Structure 1
Amino acid sequence: MRDRRRVRHPAPPGLADAGALGRRPRVTVVGGGIAGLAAATGLAERGVAVELVERDDRLGGRVAGWPAWLPDGTAVAMSRGFHAFFRQYYNLRMLLRRTDPELRRLVPVDDYPLVDAEGRWDGFRGLPRTPPWNALAFALRSPTFGWRDLLRLDARAALPLAAVRVPETYALLDEVDAETFLRRINFPPAARHLAFEVFSRSFFAPPREMSAAELAVMFHLYFLGSAEGLVFDVPADTFPVALWDPLAGYLDARGVRIRTGVTVTGVEPLPAGFRLHTRSGSSDVDGVVLAADVAGLRRIVAGSPGLGTPEWRAAVADLRTAPPFLVRRLWLADPVAAGRPAFLGTGGRPPLDNVSVLDRFEASAARWARRTGGSVVELHAYAAQGSPEEVAGGMLRRLHEVYPETAGARVVGELSEWRADCPLFGLGDFARRPRVRTPVDGVVLAGDGVRVDLPVALMERAATTGWHAANCLLARWGLAGHTLHTVPTRGLLEPLHRLLTRSATSRRRPGSTQPPLHGGR
């Protein structure tokens, strides 16, 4: 939290502990990912009786980890892949500090280099922290961006990147796809592939399917709205060891009952409270946090015919998931060259999007590498096209291109995860997306697919909605909430926002067939 411009969102006032109410409210949190864990923490710390139920047999959601075995019987760890813990993820870090106050179980990755199909490299090491000099320095030292490119930019079309205003930017740009928006700016194609496309695909969708508003807010969150920088931290060991096992112990010490392997089938409103139905029974509670993934939330609401309004139920049913992605983890008999970065983003090399050398930072992988003399490498393909087998083969060929020494390395073992359960931030989705508060007093939503009118994304959106969901229920019972922090909600050139809005509005005059500059598909 080095950025002096970060915004503090004060907690709702109230009683410090539910014990002062005479009877402690009972809440079930459905979902043991980041959002559910944040909600459970926020409620339990105010003395609410919390039960957390998770469909899988582990905590962490899409940041979970689990044991696996190589063909020779060696025990190893597997997950859904690498995650970057950026310094501006204030609310996620607030959750992790509950068991790791100094965040010593996170270690920094000193650079985040990018390489494109022509072999041009970019990186973030040594950039100034203060906006806008960070973005300007990155652009001017990039091999794909020069002074002439800067002069060719359409400054007026590019203004939304520096004039971000959350949530108003969504009304301005959510109907435009990211690819079209970047073309309007006249952003150099090579730079577009090397920089913006790498980041847009980290939202699990290709630029032509991703909202330009999400792209603008992302640019604000990581660049022009934050002085925290783009260098990030990663867990020093597997996700369970570094993150979730300690947090489970923290919650257990505060009376939270954690049940894994439990599938919730519906929520039934009662005259006073709710009846939560699972495949093995039911229980009555005073409040519910639905922190399931998109498919899980749709299924639970579909199985709860008396819950919410028709409009709200339709919004939940309309939530979409992004195209599939593939994570392929390889245990190689030979080491990756010493000079290789721990994490590499790739542009223009489909289907490969990034490479992680896990033994550079994860203790479990490092122990295996020291013992065998090999290395542990992880490959990601976002918005994958083709069969899992085709994508896996393509990723391996691309790995051999960027790290040629791996071509001759024997594969000791490999594990893959093919998933399609991440939310899609598509065109026009923001206005339709359900919010944390629902039409039902006592039922709230949380998760990275839930709308929250703050400049957050990915894991930080999950954590923020989890804390916010807890605050909504705590306020219902007169209990104190938890203060949140974000990067500024307005960009450096935010005073120009009204000009942009007027421009977009004037172009929507009746009878016009011309799409607005900052709107339309």
Structure 2
Amino acid sequence: MRPLPPGRDPRAVLHPAAPGAARLDDAKHVVVVGGGIAGLGAAVVLAERGVDVTLLEACDELGGRVRSWKTDDGSGRTMSRGFHAFFRQYYTLRALLRRVDPTLSHLVPVPDYPLQRADGLTDSFAALPVTPPLNLLAFVLRSPTFPVSALTQVDVASAMELVDCSYPASHERYDGESAQAFLDRLRFPEGARHLALEVFARSFFAHPDDFGAGELVGMFHTYFTGSREGLMFDVPDDDYDTVLWAPLGRYLEERGARVRTAARAESVTPDGDGWLVRVGAEDLRADAVVVATDPRVTRELVAPLPADDDARRDWQRRAQSARNAPPFGVLRVWLDGTVAPEREAFLGTSGYDLLDNVTVLERFEAGAARWTAEHGGSVVELHAYAADPTRDADLAGDGPLGLDTERLRARLMDALHAVYPETRGLGVVHEELLVEDDCGLVGTAPWRERLTVDTPYPGLALAGDGLRVDWPIALMERAATTGVLAANHLLAGWGVRGEDVWTVPLEGIARRIPGRRVR
């Protein structure tokens, strides 16, 4: 009997793991390098099947690019790397979280996430139908940024590509084309272009002319035209470490895994029929290794590996060509007064200088709510997805990653005051500013050039959201899925069955029309 889909979309697709035994018979040790979502996914699947796992994370907390931590002033306040939306399409990520929260009680729905332009026009995704194409039709009919009269300007052939997807073929359809170029030929009205599509590109920490069109179309399919899970999402009810990653770390330890934070892998070296992973002055011997890091760290770790045949030389070329996205900034401020109650808990923005979204954290995060109750102020987070000094000379400076962090902070605060004017008169009790550039760039290079979980080195697997997966998944879900697939790859070599994976449908609604001939 076919298992029931994990969500409400009956067309969700099951990708079964290769057959094999339920658990490992003989001892195998796997070192997982990286304790983000991808590394946690790999470690959990391996440990559950009897593999001896050592998980190494360079930071003091698990979670990778979705981690949170306590500020160093002893106040109990927390900081994170920015807001993350847990969409209902994230089947693999949600399955991972169910290990420690079976009913996902710590994920609470956000009632809406309006997208607001600087001219005041705002789109909402609340109360839309969840079934394609009714959701798309309803959005167009009620959107102030997409007047029906503008439909005559849209390039029909390009628009049909949004509903005529077929994976994996549709990934390669856009080789060499940027999201910017696709939007140009699509000819959506400017408002809809920014609010309905360009926001997707920015969520990949990339400028639209540096971001692959195939990824943009894939996201549109995943969230809008190809899935019945809807466009709404959930968020954790407290900081990421408290409710997500620390519990998963304990779950791993209960299954015999060693979870080592503040432990940076310095090298990964073949050693006979196994591997050595250097951590400080220590060498860990392993039967296999999963490298679940960002593209820059992955490049550094794999560069010394022998490129002694054509397959390995080609793989090394592709590994070394992977790029990281430009820097991003997250500014969290503790204010001495509250944001107006009618404001949204989460607001996406377009045209407000560097600001891409505003989050009022006490609306859903328990720790922030406690601070608000005690101090009477709001905790507000501002996110600049692409704070790139090479594109914006005003940001160039001698701070981290070549940024003038004072200018970055000032411009984000000015944008907050423009979006939520009542904050202009509020004082800042405390603030934390983070700048990083460790997100992979999903560029315009050919899809087949991207690395996959398997490698030409026996016993070495990769995981992470920068890898190629032939299904329409992205961001946190791609990280979780590649972690599972990396574990499955190693387990299959040992005759052990891995974990099944579910995805949204692989074909667009245009391909489901009875009698239609598919190209």
1:410 aligns with 2:411: no
Q: Tell me, in whole angstroms, the C-alpha distance in 1 between the residues paired with 2:35 and 2:72.
A: 24
Query: Is the CA contact (8 Å cut-off) linking 1:97 and 1:103 kept in structure 2?
Result: yes
1:354 aligns with 2:357: yes
Q: Tell me, in whole angstroms, the C-alpha distance in 2 between the residues paired with 1:459 and 1:69.
A: 27
Q: Tell me, in whole angstroms, the C-alpha distance in 2 between the residues paired with 1:27 and 1:293.
A: 19
Deviation at 1:486, TM superposition (A): 0.5
1:314 aligns with 2:320: no
1:390 aligns with 2:396: no
| Uncovered stretches (5+) of structure 1, i.e. residues with no partner | 503-521
Range 147-156 or range 250-259, more displaced:
147-156
Counterpart residue identity of residue 366, structure 1: A
Deviation at 1:174, TM superposition (A): 2.7
1:266 aligns with 2:267: yes
SS of equivalent residue, structure 2 residue 343: coil
| C-alpha distance 489-110 of structure 1, shift in aligned 2 (>3 A) | same
Match of 1:363 in 2: 366
Counterpart residue identity of residue 2, structure 1: R
State the TM-score, normalizing by the size of structure 1. 0.92
Q: Tell me, in whole angstroms, the C-alpha distance in 2 between the residues paired with 1:140 and 1:177.
A: 28
Q: Tell me, in whole angstroms, the C-alpha distance in 1 between the residues paired with 2:342 and 2:72.
A: 29
1:237 aligns with 2:244: no
Q: Tell me, in whole angstroms, the C-alpha distance in 2 between the residues paired with 1:444 and 1:9.
A: 19
Match of 1:515 in 2: none
User: What pairs with 1:106-185 in structure 2 (closer than 5 Å)?
Assistant: 106-185=107-186
Deviation at 1:255, TM superposition (A): 0.2
Match of 1:46 in 2: 49
Structure 1 residues 249-305: Cα deviation after superposition (integer angstroms, max 9, x where no partner)? 110000001112222222222332222223322122111111011111111112434
SS of equivalent residue, structure 2 residue 53: strand
Structure 1 residues 66-111: Cα deviation after superposition (integer angstroms, max 9, x where no partner)? 11056xx522001111110000000000000000000001111010
1:379 aligns with 2:396: no
Match of 1:456 among 473, 489, 494: 473
Match of 1:7 in 2: 13
Deviation at 1:194, TM superposition (A): 2.0
User: What pairs with 1:265-304 in structure 2 (closer than 5 Å)?
Assistant: 265-304=266-305
1:56 aligns with 2:56: no
Counterpart residue identity of residue 325, structure 1: F
Structure 1 residues 147-201: Cα deviation after superposition (integer angstroms, max 9, x where no partner)? 2112321111222211112221122113111122112111111211122122210
Query: Is the CA contact (8 Å cut-off) linking 1:6 and 1:488 kept in structure 2?
Result: yes
| Uncovered stretches (5+) of structure 2, i.e. residues with no partner | 1-6, 389-394, 396-403
Query: Is the CA contact (8 Å cut-off) linking 2:129 and 2:138 kept in structure 1?
Result: yes
Deviation at 1:476, TM superposition (A): 0.5
Structure 1 residues 463-519: Cα deviation after superposition (integer angstroms, max 9, x where no partner)? 0000000111111101111011110111112379xx9998xxxxxxxxxxxxxxxxx
Range 184-193 or range 147-156, more displaced:
147-156
Match of 2:341 among 312, 323, 338: 338
Counterpart residue identity of residue 19, structure 2: P
SS of equivalent residue, structure 1 residue 94: helix
Counterpart residue identity of residue 14, structure 2: R
SS of equivalent residue, structure 1 residue 162: coil
Counterpart residue identity of residue 466, structure 1: G
Q: Tell me, in whole angstroms, the C-alpha distance in 2 between the residues paired with 1:395 and 1:487.
A: 36
Q: Tell me, in whole angstroms, the C-alpha distance in 1 between the residues paired with 2:279 and 2:304.
A: 11
Counterpart residue identity of residue 292, structure 2: A
Structure 1 residues 314-373: Cα deviation after superposition (integer angstroms, max 9, x where no partner)? 111111011111000000000110011100000122211000000000000000001111
Query: Is the CA contact (8 Å cut-off) linking 1:194 and 1:348 kept in structure 2?
Result: no
Match of 2:38 in 1: 35
Deviation at 1:442, TM superposition (A): 1.4
SS of equivalent residue, structure 2 residue 227: coil
Structure 1 residues 11-32: Cα deviation after superposition (integer angstroms, max 9, x where no partner)? 22111111xx2x2211111100
Aligned residues with identical type, % of pairs? 51
| C-alpha distance 500-375 of structure 1, shift in aligned 2 (>3 A) | farther
Match of 2:207 in 1: 206
Query: Is the CA contact (8 Å cut-off) linking 1:172 and 1:501 kept in structure 2?
Result: no
User: What pairs with 1:417-436 in structure 2 (closer than 5 Å)?
Assistant: 417-436=434-453
Q: Tell me, in whole angstroms, the C-alpha distance in 1 between the residues paired with 2:47 and 2:237.
A: 27
Counterpart residue identity of residue 486, structure 2: A
| C-alpha distance 495-173 of structure 1, shift in aligned 2 (>3 A) | farther
Counterpart residue identity of residue 417, structure 1: L
1:440 aligns with 2:457: yes
Match of 2:85 in 1: 84
Deviation at 1:55, TM superposition (A): 1.5
Q: Tell me, in whole angstroms, the C-alpha distance in 1 between the residues paired with 2:20 and 2:345.
A: 46
Query: Is the CA contact (8 Å cut-off) linking 1:160 and 1:169 kept in structure 2?
Result: no
Counterpart residue identity of residue 445, structure 1: L
Q: Tell me, in whole angstroms, the C-alpha distance in 2 between the residues paired with 1:203 and 1:338.
A: 30
Query: Is the CA contact (8 Å cut-off) linking 1:265 and 1:303 kept in structure 2?
Result: no
Counterpart residue identity of residue 436, structure 2: R
Range 250-259 or range 378-387, more displaced:
378-387
Q: Tell me, in whole angstroms, the C-alpha distance in 2 between the residues paired with 1:174 and 1:272.
A: 38
Q: Tell me, in whole angstroms, the C-alpha distance in 1 between the residues paired with 2:263 and 2:424.
A: 44
Q: Tell me, in whole angstroms, the C-alpha distance in 2 between the residues paired with 1:482 and 1:209.
A: 34
Deviation at 1:402, TM superposition (A): 1.1
* Aligned residue pairs, count: 495
Counterpart residue identity of residue 472, structure 2: P
Deviation at 1:430, TM superposition (A): 2.5
Structure 1 residues 108-145: Cα deviation after superposition (integer angstroms, max 9, x where no partner)? 10101011011011111100000111122112211011
Deviation at 1:240, TM superposition (A): 0.8
Query: Is the CA contact (8 Å cut-off) linking 1:179 and 1:208 kept in structure 2?
Result: yes
Query: Is the CA contact (8 Å cut-off) linking 1:354 and 1:381 kept in structure 2?
Result: yes
Match of 1:479 in 2: 496
State the TM-score, normalizing by the size of structure 2. 0.92
Query: Is the CA contact (8 Å cut-off) linking 2:178 and 2:208 kept in structure 1?
Result: yes
Q: Tell me, in whole angstroms, the C-alpha distance in 2 between the residues paired with 1:315 and 1:214.
A: 19
Query: Is the CA contact (8 Å cut-off) linking 2:172 and 2:446 kept in structure 1?
Result: no
Match of 1:323 in 2: 326
Runs of 4+ in 1 over 6 A off after TM superposition: 499-502
SS of equivalent residue, structure 2 residue 223: helix
Range 164-173 or range 93-102, more displaced:
164-173
Query: Is the CA contact (8 Å cut-off) linking 1:14 and 1:475 kept in structure 2?
Result: yes
Counterpart residue identity of residue 15, structure 1: A
Q: Tell me, in whole angstroms, the C-alpha distance in 1 between the residues paired with 2:80 and 2:17.
A: 34
Q: Tell me, in whole angstroms, the C-alpha distance in 1 between the residues paired with 2:184 and 2:213.
A: 11
